[in-house]
Amino acid sequence: QQQVKQSPQSLIVQKGGISIINCAYENTAFDYFPWYQQFPGKGPALLIAIRPDVSEKKEGRFTISFNKSAKQFSLHIMDSQPGDSATYFCAASMGRQGNKLVFGAGTILRVKS
């Protein structure tokens, strides 16, 4: 049973468009929500992260939106570029369990030029 549910499984976006990936969780003890980006042949790399005391965090073209009451968070990639084509994982952790990360199933993003 996956503690963090991620959708969609795959996504195709035109260059310049907005990519949106959604995640939902059940455990309200989670207190840290990162997104990881993985290119083929590489390990995942931290992209951006948010804590539940804020509703949005933006870093460049990447934004996390967080809805604590709905227990959902999403990644928005503005002005999507072919170089953004990768697999994206949402994750969650809780401090009282030593911050072990629980990952979503991943979304394969393809940005068409």
The residue among 14 and 99 lying less far from another protein, judged by its C-beta, is 99
Residue 113: Cβ-neighbour burial (10 angstroms; 0-12, 13-18, 19+): exposed
CB 104, min distance to another protein, A: 5
Sheet holding 72-77, edge to edge: 4-7, 19-25, 72-77, 62-67, 56-59
CB 64, min distance to another protein, A: 14
The residue among 43 and 83 lying less far from another protein, judged by its C-beta, is 43
In sequence order, the 6+-apart residues with CB closer than 8 A to the CB of 26 are 3, 71
CB 44, min distance to another protein, A: 5
- Name the site residues for another protein (rule: CB under 8 A): 2, 6, 9, 32, 34, 36, 41-46, 49, 89, 93, 98-106
